[in-house]
Amino acid sequence: MVKNVALVLGGGGSGGHAWTIGVIAGLAESGVDMTEAADLVIGTSSGATAAAQVRSGIPPAELLVPILSEPVPPVGQNRQGPPSPPMAGVYERMRAIGAAATSAVDLCRAMGAFGLESDATLGPTAAEQRRAMVAARLPHQQWPERPMIVAAVNAHTGELVAFDRDSGVDLVDAVTAGTALPGTVPTHNINGTRYINGGVRSAENADLASGYANVVVLSPFGARSGTLPAGQFEGIRRSPEWGTDLASQIEALRKQGSRVEVITPDADSRAAMGTNQMDLATRIPAARAGFAQGKQEATRLTFL
């Protein structure tokens, strides 16, 4: 069977997740249903949750409804679940780690150490609470039949791990591991190994789509280069020298012969998502803006 279409869903916090689902619904509204067209879905960070939703069998329009129906929290109420440390200190530590890193694996290993160090501060019940919270967000607890990958990072070695239905890991554990941002939530233990957010290595991990003829990337952060501005949860260095930034990964895929289309937030979507994409108050406007953008972007994907 020809490996034809890979859909890559990048990380982007609460606002980025809502935007991603909005775009998927908008594309489907205009006749491009990525839930059907994608032979593989790859999810990183919040994109891992979106990937599980996209692979759930639920129509895109129905995936959007719960987001638009969410209670609107006060602006600045940006966390769910167990309490986390003050974010300013977390951002500062992330930027320091990024500045000192000499390679992608070095950065990931240092971020893993930060996550392991933070586990004691977060408390013994935080891991259980967080797994339960992740499980509640997933439409189904089992891996989908159609191929899907969740990107995570081994907190001990800094190596990228691509979880799928053949990994012997429950879907809930894979998504919990792949969304565990160091310093904010606990690392996730799977069979004695601790894992952290796959977005630590790359906000998209689009290189996991190698071998697919067509690659569609939805990247909430893709239009931004280098370290994200202060106040963003992934204040982590992306270096073209390491090949972990989106531009380098796209170039490598195209050199291999893949057709790559990248959708990043347009001006209206960026305004809706604001400067803090972990703020739950951005979800409804980001989803609406993503839906409108998705309808416009569909003309770029008519080759599918």
pLDDT tens figures, 47-101:
999 999 999 999 999 999 999 998 876 654 444 444 445 677 888 888 889 889 9
Cβ atoms of residues 215 and 209 within 8 Å: yes
Burial (CB count <10 Å: 0-12, 13-18, 19+), residue 95: middle
Q: What is the mean pLDDT of residues 185-199?
A: 96
Q: Which among 63, 34, 91, 94 is positioned nearest to 218, based on CA atoms?
A: 34
* Structural domain harbouring 57: 5-69+87-300
User: In sequence order, which residues have a C-beta less than 8 Å from that of residue 15 and are 6 or more positions away?
Assistant: 220, 272, 273, 274, 276, 277, 278, 279, 282, 283, 286
Q: What is the mean pLDDT of residues 180-202?
A: 95
82 assigned to some structural domain: no
Q: What is the mean pLDDT of residues 99-111?
A: 94
Half-sphere exposure of 64 (CA within 13 A, CB side): 24
Of the pLDDT bands very low, low, confident and very high (cuts 50, 70, 90), residue 39 is very high
Residue 231's pLDDT is what? 46
Which of 2-6, 84-88, 264-268 shows the lowest per-residue confidence on average (mean pLDDT)? 84-88
76 assigned to some structural domain: no
276 assigned to some structural domain: yes
Cβ atoms of residues 201 and 244 within 8 Å: yes
Cβ atoms of residues 301 and 261 within 8 Å: yes
234 assigned to some structural domain: yes
Query: Strand runs (DSSP E) across 184-284, as ranges?
Result: 188-190, 193-197, 214-218, 259-263
User: How many domains, in total, are found in the chain?
Assistant: 1
227 assigned to some structural domain: yes
CATH number at residue 278: 3.40.1090
79 assigned to some structural domain: no
Residue 116: is its pLDDT beyond 50? yes
Cα 236 to the chain's mean position, in Å? Answer: 14
Q: Is 78 or 174 the better-scoring residue by pLDDT?
A: 174
